[in-house]
Amino acid sequence: MIYTSFDNVGLLKVLTFLKSHKSEYLSGQDLSDVLKISRVAVWKHIKKIRELGYKIESKQKRGYKYVKNTERLLPWEISSDLKTKYMGKRSYYFEEIDSTQNFALQIAPNKKEHGTIVIAQKQTHGKGRLNRKWISSKGGIWFSIILHPKFSIEESTLLPIAASLALSNTIQKILKIKTNVKWPNDITVNGKKVAGMLIDVSSQSNQIESVVIGIGLNYKIKPIEVTKKLTKSPNFYGVETLLNETQTGNPIQLIKEFIYQFEEIIEQLTNGMTSKIISGWTRNSETIRKKVTINTANGKISGVAIKINNDGSLRIKTKHKTERVFVGDILYS
Ligand code: BT5
């Protein structure tokens, strides 16, 4: 099932009316009269609203009362009171999809999708970088953001740094959990991976047409189950979850804050404030000044990680020289 920010009108009419009369019971007849829809339609919408995770109480002869919000990242929940200029105003929510990245890439060329978010509750074929697997069962936050940015291809190489800084700061602010960033695109908690991202850029003659940033965040997953599926993958270094099953949180608030911070950081990138982004990332980093070994397509490189260059690459001092690494996976020495 798919929900968007621009349809589901009838359902939203009922939900908005219930939300705006929080402490009252509203009868099916009242809702039908005020909203000018049939009683059967009211009943169908309320059934659906409950299935979507909202708590609606009902009492015989009195009617329905809104009690509690859903935890699902539904489009209208994300866009309501969102502080951004363009990001997240439009979104698609899938209960199940192969990969949000695949869907986002298909619609990305359309100009109206600038800032659009594609979210899934579950992915059947979640992708990592270099066609690796991303395990995305229910409980995580799996999403892709489409941008038609004003910055150049050179600056786009800094996007994983910018996105992971925004996400790391958001998690610390909203959930008060200490996170670290790990080059090039990971967020860790207790040294294990809690989020990863991947970027697909479409360009023509050095001009960016669209970018799709895919983000996988282990919000409330079972690390043991994910670990079982991953131990054979060569770059695996452990899985962490932000919340365990017994904890409650507010994922809608988390994603709204992220969208806001990400839009701000994209603005900085567009205005050439790369050193601000890099120094913010470095403060959160568990990579810089460490001895590292990196797996690259051309073999392993060992040395001390010195800094992130303006193009997002990592500068490493090996025994004999200083090297720049653009793509790779870090293993700590
Ligand atoms: C990434 O790749 O970390 C990018 C992950 C991006 C996932 C998002 S979800 C929404 C959007 N739609 C998609 O289809 N994808 C994006 P990479 O750095 O290559 O890391 C992949 C590696 O992380 C795998 O080889 C595993 O070792 C490990 N891994 C896979 N699933 C994981 C999980 N849920 N938690 C922690 N580690 C995982």
Distance 48 CA to ligand 1 centre (A): 32
Task: Report residues whose beta carbon is within 6 angstroms of any ligand 1 atom.
Answer: 99-101, 123, 126-130, 132-136, 142-144, 185, 193, 196-198, 214-216, 218, 226, 230, 233, 235-236, 239
Distance 148 CA to ligand 1 centre (A): 24
Residues 6+ apart with CB under 8 A from 237: 191, 192, 193, 331
For residue 162, CA distances in Å to 83, 306, 325 come to: 19, 18, 18
* pLDDT string in tens for the chain (333-residue length): 899 977 788 999 999 999 999 889 999 999 999 999 999 999 999 999 999 999 999 999 999 999 999 999 999 999 999 999 999 999 999 999 999 999 999 999 999 999 999 999 999 999 999 989 999 989 999 999 999 999 888 889 999 999 999 999 999 999 999 999 999 999 999 999 999 999 999 998 888 999 999 999 999 999 999 999 997 787 899 999 999 999 999 999 999 999 999 999 999 999 999 999 999 999 999 899 999 999 998 899 999 999 999 999 999 999 999 999 999 999 865
Distance 314 CA to ligand 1 centre (A): 20
The DSSP line for 202-262 is: EEETTEEEEEEEEEEE-SS--HHHHHHHHTTSTT---B--SS-TT----HHHHHHHHHHHH
Rounded Cα gap, residues 188 and 190, in angstroms: 6
The DSSP line for 147-182 is: E--SS-HHHHTTHHHHHHHHHHHHHHHHH----EEE
Closest C-alpha to ligand 1, atom 7: 216
